[in-house]
């Protein structure tokens, strides 16, 4: 077999990258359709509904059975093994063609399908821990110093820009919004451009943010002034009416 030339190797690599991008694009489309269906049909549970014992609206199984995690498979007793096998058979019966990974609550033996079952909501305690963690992160302006811009060539052959931390040596996403098509497209090629923000860029953005804040405050003050002027005008009319009434009675 003849040895491939460098140009042929590059062409094959580009073809593989494009096929991977098309697969990512299709997976993203299916994921968006699934989330839209969950929202449309009201399938997501609130935390209060989970605590109240509402079953999963995707498969009908309990969200949490409070039976504890399964022991390691090698340490299952005979009875536990029968229960485990029955649970596996029930799962496969409910999800025969999902070909998806699973999720479950810690401390529960019920497993749910990422394709059919909307992910469980986070508890208030978990949300609180996340909020505390986010409060310790560097400011947005500090984070901008470490961002690089990448040019992404999409499956539609248009180019989109993407920013991420410069410690990454490759783009961390498989699909992106196309600025020309207005659709989500797979990323076929990526090229690092360089720092996303210079000192001047940050200064201009800060000035723009200040102008936007001042404009919003000005609009609020102007609206307050209009309300006070209308109130004052109404008060003047009332004073004039009372004065006329007083003069007519005298």
DSSP 75: G
pLDDT tens, residue by residue, 212-250: 878 888 888 888 888 888 888 888 888 888 888 878 766
pLDDT, average across residues 75-88: 93
What is the mean pLDDT of the segment spanning 135-146?
84
**CB neighbour class for 79 (10 Å; exposed up to 12, middle 13-18, buried from 19):** exposed
Contact 37, 197 (CB under 8 A): no
Q: Is the dihedral of CA 199, 204, 208, 213 positive or negative?
A: positive
Q: What is the pLDDT of residue 21?
A: 94
Contact 173/185 with Cβ under 8 angstroms?
no
pLDDT for the residue numbered 120: 84
Looking at residue 188, the DSSP 8-state letter turns out to be: E
d(CA 23, CA 186): 8
Report H helices in the chain.
6-40, 47-51, 78-94, 124-135, 140-144, 199-249
For residue 98, how far is the Cα from the chain centroid? 23
């Amino acid at each position: 077999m003849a040895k491939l030339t460098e140009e042929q190797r590059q062409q094959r690599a580009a073809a593989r990258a494009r096929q991977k991008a098309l697969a990512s694009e299709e997976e993203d489309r299916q994921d968006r359709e699934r989330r839209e269906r969950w929202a449309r049909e009201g399938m997501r549970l609130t935390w209060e509904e989970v605590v109240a014992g509402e079953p999963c609206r995707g498969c009908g199984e309990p969200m949490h059975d409070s039976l504890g995690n399964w022991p390691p498979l090698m340490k299952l007793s005979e009875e536990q093994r029968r229960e485990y096998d029955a649970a596996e058979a029930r799962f496969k019966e409910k999800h025969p063609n999902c070909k998806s990974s699973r999720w479950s609550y810690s401390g529960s033996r019920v497993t749910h399908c990422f394709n059919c079952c909307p992910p469980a909501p986070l508890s208030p305690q978990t949300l609180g821990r996340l909020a505390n963690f986010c409060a310790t992160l560097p400011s947005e302006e500090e984070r901008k110093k470490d961002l690089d811009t990448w040019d992404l060539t999409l499956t539609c052959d248009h180019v989109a820009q993407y920013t991420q931390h410069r410690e990454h040596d490759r783009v961390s996403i498989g699909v992106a919004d196309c600025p020309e098509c207005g659709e989500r497209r797979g990323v076929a090629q990526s090229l690092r451009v360089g720092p996303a923000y210079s000192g001047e860029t940050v200064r201009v953005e800060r000035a723009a943010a200040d102008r936007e804040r001042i404009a919003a405050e000005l609009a609020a003050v102007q609206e307050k002034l209009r309300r006070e002027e209308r109130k004052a005008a109404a008060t003047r009319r009332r004073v004039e009416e009372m004065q006329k009434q007083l003069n007519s009675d005298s």
